[in-house]
Amino acid sequence: MSAPAPAFRDRVLALVARIPEGRVMTYGQLALLAGQPGAARQAGFVMNSLMGGGELPWQRVINAQGRVSTHKLGFGDMQERLLQAEGVVFDASGRCDLSRLQWWPEEAAPSAPEPLL
């Protein structure tokens, strides 16, 4: 394809759009699947650009600590509420069980022998 590879931003958004209800993904994970391991901050920067605007389930994106990183932005409470509405349970520390809720696309399953296409 002579067309340039999709921007990191679009790549992340595509992944977020595929997160099923009741599941979550971490920023580092999005960056990894987007082809830029270590670019977790950028994944967050991409979400910040959306600012909750659009049909994208940005609420399902949380940090590696299993906690929402939007508290200081002002709408973190809304994110937790939306996730709780999907069945996600947060403990007293505001953290959820990533080992159970973290979702991986089939083409990038952690157990898959092939890393990416």
Partner DNA sequence: GTCGTGACCAGGC
Partner DNA sequence: AGCCTGGCCACGA
Q: Which chain residues interact with DNA by CB under 7 A? A: 7-9, 26-28, 36, 38-52, 58, 61, 63-65, 68-70, 72-73, 79, 93
- Nearest residue (CB) to DNA, 69 versus 108: 69
Instruction: Report in angstroms how near the CB of residue 36 gets to DNA at its nearest.
Output: 4
> Among positive and negative, which fits the CA dihedral 84, 87, 92, 98?
negative
Tokens representing 83 are 């996730």
Which sign, positive or negative, has the C-alpha torsion 81, 64, 35, 72? positive
**Residue with Cβ nearer DNA (7 or 85):** 7
Q: Could you give the CA distance from residue 7 to residue 13 in angstroms, rounded to a whole number?
A: 10
Which of 1/92 has CB closer to DNA? 92
